[in-house]
Structure 1
Amino acid sequence: MDGEMLRDPNRRLFLQTGAALGGGLMLSFSLSGPGQAAGDGQLNAYVRIGPDGGVTIVSKVPEVGQGIKTSLPMLIAEELDVEWSAVTVEQAIADTKVFGRQVAGGSMATTLEYDGLRRVGATGRALLIGAAAARWGVAAETCATEPGFVIHAASNRRLAYGDLAQAAAALTPPDPKSLTLKDPKAFRIIGKRQQSRDIDAIVTGQPLYGIDTRVPGMLYATFAKAPTFGAKVVSVDLAPARAVAGVKDAFVVEGGTNLQGLMPGVAVVAESWWAARKGRNALEIKWAEHPTSAQSSAGFAARAAELAKAPPHRTLRSDGDVDAAFKGAAKVVKAAYSYPFIAHVNLEPQNCTASFKDGKVEIWAPTQNPEPGRKLVAAALGVAETDVTIHLVRGGGGFGRRLMNDYMVEAAFISKLAGAPVKLVWTREDDIQHDFYRPGGWHNFTGGLDDKGDLVGWRDHFVTFGEGEQFATSAGMNATQFPGRAVANYKLDVSVMPLGAPTGYLRAPGNNAFGFVIQSFTDELAVASKQDPVAFRRKLLGEPRLLGEAGQGDAFDTGRMRGVLDLVAETSGWGRKTAKGTGLGVACHYSHLGYVAVVMEVSVAKGGVLKIHKVWAAVDCGSQIVNPSGAEQQVQGSILDAIGSTLHQAITFENGATMQGSFGDHSPLRMVEAPPVEVHFKLSDNRPTGLGEPAYPPAPAALCNAIFAATGKRIRSLPIGDQLA
């Protein structure tokens, strides 16, 4: 992330006004990027106020269930001073030249947009006040607003926004940085519970998602790819597929070698998706041999064990002298942890509707990151990027999977060859067997404790995937991961092995695994030191201080982490006596600028039957929660997502191919397994940040630590599966 933008996301902010189509005020702003002229008319967001006073706010960030289509417009509406019930929200089209960054990933939207969008609303309000003051012949400073109206208290006059919109559009906007934003104590919209703007359509089953898209003349498509990633088609008889009723065509796609782009395969196009699926099932495809066909999960595990015993390939961080610390320690603790590859398992499988005609492409896609998709499509179809139009459609879950756009380029290419608009829908097997997986990994820990039980040395030999000094996507580890910088003698070593399977970004990339291993081993150290796990963590965090440089994403505030740790201990009743076979587990982790601590209460009955009774979470994501309903749901969803993966999920490979293919063998959390999750927010004097990811990382460790408290059995590898039996 751009450190300067993190410190001041309002830099390079330029506002423009103009008459909206059909009359009224249109307000927009631009954050000029590299090579752009200041105030060049490129828009990031806009507001329309009609003559009737109706307000339309465009939401620029893709919506994949994180609630951003509601929370970002709330920022503008608050400072504009309108009734939230009077606001209509529209989803923006994908266009970075107009809207700037349009990415649903990294939990960064609130961080980057909070102040800028508020100033857009404040500028609109100032223009409306200016128009009213001119009409009344009074000083603007003597006017104020109430929702939807400008008022002049001295003369008891008021004018509706709709009556002022056209006049306001003709005024020169003030410098947005000169405006005084509302005191949070005066907020009427921000900080209040607001339901999702799409909730009525969702609960009544209205066509809303990518998979619901319909366009005139549309056909349906399926696309078969090799079980071994990247293998080409050697031969296929297309006649059986073409003979299926409703099938319009079947053809081979040569594809390329970019695992994120158009891969080799066979497409079947039909009048219905079921006909396309039947046609695909009728095919017998012979796939070419591929170098990755020799890779397997068993082979990875064996190689990881070899690497763990050998000298590391390189050292990412080395502070102090860990060998001397271990030699002088009163107790040395060693433990090996591992976690598997896992898939995203979006409830809505990957899909895209595309129409290629006359050298132009129109796309409807539930993508989290449309611009790389535009580039893929343009390159694959040989068209200009400006000839690719992408409509952002709500996604039925993202979790990082839809940051990749392979399904988009597939749909566009098939449309070109079919000569008609097509909707490509992946099967569940496609979705799981052709994912960009969270990579597996192995951590070999050594910790040293002095005679007081304090941590004096920490070493991790991390075995992961990559080649040379290049990690596979999401397989690397940041050298500033806590307890780095907090322990005087600390060493992070790494060894890598090659990988043929595609990896990508799953909710809280990297941290979703590091939280498990680091906080589980921390718990082991607490037990070995004969200290309470919360007390041990508080001592490890030490006095409130900042580790790292202020304003940077890897800076770690020990005081903020202690704050959420203390809050979750208080709200969960930490330290209370529990029944036999029942235990409390705690974990805390920092990621995506958020500090989260989690406590779980579990019981393990005869036969290893696990029940999670309740979860408590304490979260510090800055000074303001924009939409408490959405924020609470994001924390709850992250934790439940993490519990599901911890209990059940593992992707395994044989002969270079994924062995799992459905919810039956790669299961999300079932409703009957889901515990209540009680969420508490601790506000701090820091910039508001996102919530889609930071609650995930501590949850697996909290669960496994609770199991240890209940049974004395330490879980060091995931998923838990039948380890308790």
Structure 2
Amino acid sequence: MLKDLPQERGPQLGRRAFLKVSALAGGGLAMSASFPVAAHAAAGGAASAELNAFVTISPDNVITIVGKNPEIGQGIKTMLPMLIAEELDADWDQVQIVQGHTDAAKYGPQIAGGSFATPMNWIPMRQTGAAARAMLLGAASARWGVPMAELTTEPSVVVHRASGRRATYGELASDAALLPVPAADSVRLKNASDFRIIGRAIGGIDSPRIVRGEGIFGVDTQLPGMVYAAYERSPVFGAKLVSADIEAAKAAPGVIDAFVVEGNGKADELVDGVAVIARNWWLANKARERLNVQWDNGEWATHSTAKYDADARAAMAAGHPQEVFTNTGDVDAALASAAQVIEAEYSYPFLAHVAMEPMNCTALLHENGVMEMWAPSQLPQAGQMAVAQYLGTTPDKVKVNITRMGGGFGRRLNNDYMVQVAAIARRMPGTPVQLIWSREDDVRSDFYRPAGWHKLRAGLDASGKIVGLEDHFVTFDINGGAFNPAAMPADEFPAKFVPNVRYGQTKMRTAVPMGALRAPTSNAVAFVFQSFLDEVAHASGRDLPTLLLDILEGAEPEGTVMGFTGPQAGFDPRRVRAVTRKVMEMAKWGQPVAEGHALGFGYYYSHQGYFAEVVEASLDARRQVVVHNVWCAGDVGAHIINPHGAMNQVEGSIIDGIGQALQLAVEIEGGAVKQSNFHNYQLPRMPMTPTIHAEFVLSDNPPTGLGEPALPPVIPALTNALFALTGKRVRSLPIDTSLFA
């Protein structure tokens, strides 16, 4: 049986100001929670409820719950309402879920990224449901004249067993709406043994609508009188617009208008371009061919992948990084006295996001000056702020309706397409404008996963213990913002478990825009360090899981740490050991495998999740890599809230990682991206998908996110399997199969 989590663990709502309730006109209850909002309670249920309340209970016993976060395919629109419904003790079959619009005051952070949703909302959403349940119990207590302690609930029903009386939530909702709201931190949460909804495999709430082909994605937005826009920008990053044949574009069939849009100097918001508006998108996109745009590409036209690679290797050969960001002990002495020193260089390329739904957004400037938008954004609140700033107005003058997204993987954390369409729509007040990027726009105008280069050295003593570790990391200088997607953690494993460590970096200049891609940093650094540790293990006569367990032998967990997601447990070696041993058991590690096959292991701690994975691989007759099986053991806490969604996330992450390892790379030539569409940026397809065996190791920790941590380990597990199979080390991605010829 799962252990009950202490009530104080994880972020919680505040006192009474953080829970508000209102009565529905005609009877019923509406509750908003998590952040202060104005209450509108009135006797007799005469007041109208705010439409964005978290919980609404109508007299016919239908419960409507708002999914506050953007849905990107990760299942959050289903999962967060499950937490509320669990503590409300709702009948899930009577629950309706609606998407909340962008409103920081009511919902707090609305984010699809960083695997933040679960740790941020595990307690607050449950408190929201528990408070509503407490009020329904209070209403029944007052109506029947019995103590609340004698009452209990069944799904969407309050029961007084002693008298046999029963009342549905809908029958009690109007009375409950008139009661004082309990303090969020005073409500009692369920014991895990009483969960009915948490832990239940529930399909995505939107899945039937998607199968029916209903228009729920951003690109499906349809408004009366809507026109369509295409946006021509330079393929060379950092270029400035010189001239364009606007009149030629205007003369194209179906074109309504065309005009220059001046950038605001921010690559993540608005770059120079030309907007073409037409009756349909195809006509707008075709008219771009007539623009004959001239660009000033400046110095960036000389930049290329080959140049970056040559400069990076020259920097590593020079020996000393520009800056040292981790320095413990005496690395030079440790390496000089080591019984054995292992050296290797690793590299990985730029990667694009290529979500199935290309970037798009719809905007309408109303007569009252409000810019209303329909945006498939992972960070809609940031987009709202960026648009407001660009327009020189306040955020309340920018209304953002959140649409479902056809993928994102971090690309939609940047809202440049929102600012682009706002710049166009303000030139056409009263007319809704839908901006859609072509696939070529999407591939060539991304915020890419940064490329990187590493030169590593490890010193071993006579017993095979790592006594010194050094990494010279060559990366890029990214200006602005607290988050640097090219950064490497200062405590990158196994830094804390090696007495002498030096991590340094050299930064190169670039105009290539970079951003977060699923499991940012981890998706690259895991390949480097887990592959290199496999080299170290081989040199010391061990395998990687044995080396990992040896490094962590006797290590104790860190204390509680405070971060963006609230109080969470620090790094716990016990959890590493548990998933490592579990996946070894699952894959029958150490036992013979099929002839011509080999196993490889990889582990990583990412986004508060602990994952260990084993890949079984072979080479076909053409010496191409075939991945047969992947075994995966993950620890994301004490509860898997929705096993259906959880398994989708794990399997999707693994397939993503295999695709990145085998065939994905963005190349820069003449300052621009060479790749343009799926013919030369080939995503993983069904024939290359292995059989995936995933299990969760439950631990006594608050649950954390699953969108990202299963991806990083599969890449080194695959490359380590290929070494076991061929004796050849893969030290650069994507895998060059000529290595095995």
1:513 match = 524
Equivalent residue, structure 1, for 2:364: 355
**1:393 Cα deviation from its structure 2 partner:** 0.2
Aligned-partner SS, 2:603: strand
Which runs of 5 or more residues in structure 2 are unaligned? Answer: 1-6, 40-48
Rounded to whole Å, the distance in 2 between the matches of 1:450 and 1:470 is: 42
Alignment of 1:20 with 2:24, yes or no, is: yes
Check conservation: 1:6, 1:551, Cα contact below 8 A. Answer: no
Deviates more, 1:229-238 or 1:641-650: 229-238
Match of 1:148 in 2: 156
Please give the secondary structure, in 2, of the residue aligned with 1:240: helix
Q: Which amino acid aligns with 1:609?
A: Q
The residue type equivalent to 1:516 in the other structure is F
Q: Retained in 2: the 8 A contact 1:20–1:26?
A: yes
Contact 2:243 2:294 in 1 (8 A): yes
Is the counterpart of residue 228 in structure 1 residue 239 in structure 2? Answer: no
Amino acid at match of 2:14: R
The equivalent of 2:385 in structure 1 is 375
* 3-state DSSP of counterpart to 1:615: strand
Change (3 A) 1:231 1:472: farther
Between the aligned partners of 1:239 and 1:6, the Cα distance in structure 2 is: 65
Secondary structure of 1:76's aligned partner: helix
In 1, the alpha carbon distance for the partners of 2:478 and 2:160 equals: 69
Q: Distance in 2 between matches of 1:467 and 1:50?
A: 51
TM-superposed deviation, 1:21: 4.3
- What CA distance in whole angstroms lies between the structure 1 residues aligned with 2:94 and 2:482? 49
AA partner of residue 327 (structure 1): A
The 1:333/1:306 distance shift into structure 2, 3 A limit, reads same
1:418 partnered with 2:422: no
Residue 586 of structure 2: aligned partner: 571
Report the CA distance between 1:550 and its aligned residue.
4.0
**Which residue in the other structure is 2:411 paired with?**
401
Once residues 554 and 164 of structure 1 are traced to their aligned partners in structure 2, the CA distance between those partners, rounded to angstroms, is: 40
Q: Is 2:145 the partner of 1:132?
A: no
Give the corresponding residue for 1:202. 210
Residue 493 of structure 1: aligned partner: 504
Among 173, 184, 192, the alignment partner of 1:176 is: 184
**How do 1:530-545 and structure 2 match up within 5 A?**
530-545=541-556
Normalization by structure 1: what TM-score? 0.96
The CA deviation at 1:509 is: 1.0
- Number of positions where the alignment pairs a residue of Structure 1 with one of Structure 2: 717
- TM-score for the superposition, normalised by structure 2: 0.94
**CA 1:350 to 1:372, structure 2 compared with 1: closer, same or farther past 3 Å?**
same
Relative to structure 1, is the Cα distance of residues 439 and 248 closer, same or farther in structure 2, using a 3 angstrom cutoff?
same
* Structure 1 residues 617 and 45: CA distance shift in structure 2, 3 A: farther
**AA of the residue aligned to 1:689:** T
Which amino acid letter does the alignment assign opposite residue 103 of structure 2? D
Letter in 2 for 1:457: G
The letter of the residue matching 1:244 is A
Residues 581 and 605 of structure 1 are in contact (CA less than 8 Å); yes or no, is this contact kept in structure 2?
no
Change (3 A) 1:468 1:49: closer
TM-superposed CA distance for 1:538, in Å, is 0.8
Deviation at 1:710, TM superposition (A): 1.3
3-state SS of 1:275 partner = helix
What's the counterpart of residue 257 of structure 1? 265
1:360-383 deviation per Cα after TM superposition (whole angstroms, max 9, x unaligned): 211001100012211221222233
Instruction: State the distance in 2 between where 1:471 and 1:448 align.
Output: 34
Displacement of 1:43: 11
1:594, distance to aligned residue in structure 2 (A): 0.6
Partner of 2:12: 10
Shift of 1:633: 0.6
Do structure 1's residue 98 and structure 2's residue 98 form an aligned pair? no
Structure 2 residue identity aligned to 1:531: R
Question: Contact between 1:568 and 1:617, CA under 8 Å: does it hold in 2?
Answer: yes
Q: Which moved more, 1:187-196 or 1:10-19?
A: 10-19
- Cα 1:29–1:318 shift into 2, 3 Å: same
Amino acid in the other structure paired with 2:33: F
* 8 A Cα contact 1:234 1:288, kept in partner: yes
Pairing 1:294–2:302 present: yes
Q: What does 1:212-611 correspond to in 2, within 5 Å?
A: 212-310=220-318, 311-358=320-367, 359-419=369-429, 420-466=431-477, 473-547=484-558, 550-551=561-562, 555-611=570-626
CA shift for structure 1 position 699: 1.3
**Deviation digits for residues 327-357 of structure 1 (CA, Å, limit 9, x no counterpart):** 2222110000000010011011100011113
**Take 1:660 and 1:290, find their aligned partners in 2: how far apart are those partners?**
21
Name the SS of the counterpart of 2:497 in structure 1.
coil
Deviation (angstroms), 1:638? 0.8
Is residue 191 from structure 1 mapped to residue 203 from structure 2 by the alignment? no
Q: 1:522 to 1:469 in 2, by over 3 A?
A: farther
- Using the TM superposition, give the Cα deviation of residue 526 of structure 1 relative to its aligned residue in structure 2, in angstroms: 0.8
Q: How does 1:624-635 map to 2 (within 5 A)?
A: 624-635=639-650
Once residues 283 and 147 of structure 2 are traced to their aligned partners in structure 1, the CA distance between those partners, rounded to angstroms, is: 70
Counterpart CA distance in 2 for 1:216 and 1:467 is 42
Could you give the per-residue CA deviations for residues 665-716 of structure 1, whole angstroms, max 9, x where no partner exists? 1111011111121110011111110000111111111111111111111100
Measured at CA, do residues 468 and 194 of structure 1 come closer, stay the same or move farther in structure 2, by a change above 3 Å?
closer
Q: Secondary structure at the match of 2:737?
A: coil
Tell me the residue number matched to 2:63: 55
- Could you say which residue in structure 1 is the equivalent of 2:46? none
Query: Matches of 2:450 and 2:632 in 1, distance apart?
Result: 26
Give the gaps of 5 or more residues in structure 1: none
1:20 positional shift: 2.6
Whether the 8 Å CA contact 1:464–1:496 is kept in 2: the answer is yes
Q: Deviations over 1:264-299 (max 9, x none)?
A: 101110101111111112221111132322221111
Change (3 A) 1:6 1:121: closer
The 3-state SS of whatever aligns with 2:85 is helix
Superposition deviation, residue 525 in structure 1 = 0.7
Contact 2:10–2:702 (CA<8 Å) still a contact in 1? no
2:638 counterpart of 1:636? no
Q: Which residue does 1:31 correspond to in 2?
A: 35
Distance 1:88 1:705 in 2: 47
Shift of 1:646: 1.1
**How far, CA to CA, are the matches of 2:112 and 2:736 in structure 1?**
32
Deviation at 1:469, TM superposition (A): 11
Does structure 1 residue 622 correspond to structure 2 residue 624?
no
Shift of 1:180: 1.9
